[in-house]
Amino acid sequence: MKTQIALDYIGYEHEELVAVGDEVETLDFSQQVMHYWSSGYADPIEPIGLGPRYRIVEINLPAWADARRWYESYEYRARCRAIEELPDKDNPRYAVLAELSMVECEACVALLKVRKFRSPYLASLREQLERWLDGQRQHSTPFSPRQLDSLVRAYHI
């Protein structure tokens, strides 16, 4: 799902998220602020003139993802990108995968991408993951540390 976010130019190499989605339409895009530029880390930062205060960026997110959190957290953004590899990435039950660690998220995505397993052990882990995603949770993560370790080895995560 494509989502628009608006960034406010604060200063040289610094922008701040100010609006997401429909909120973008409420901003006054006629406002101008002084923009700055530098040719390198050792060179002075110099004004280059007035420029637009707001910049609109269109991002592609799964339907369940939070755009503000996506912008502010590199880890959340990385997990969302991993989940985007799934064919049904907009499924709301995948939102919980974005709360796991990166290794756990990638292991879950690797399991969910496989259609047919040769190993009955990996097939049982997939069933365990499906139950966990459907809300049958006894623990905060779908796999024990040993199971996760075996998945990391099996899929070279």
pLDDT tens per residue, range 44-94 = 999 999 999 999 999 999 999 999 999 999 999 999 999 999 999 999 999
Q: Are residues 41 and 92 in the same domain?
A: no
Element at 60 (helix H, strand E): strand 54-60
Q: Do 40 and 98 belong together in one domain?
A: no
Pick from 90, 95, 94: nearest CA to 63 = 90
Could you say which of 35, 60, 85 is where a domain stops?
60
How does pLDDT run across 25-43, given as a tens digit for each residue?
999 999 999 999 999 889 9
- State the sign of the Cα–Cα–Cα–Cα dihedral 91, 93, 96, 100: negative
55, 78: one domain: no
Domain boundary among 19, 35, 60: 60
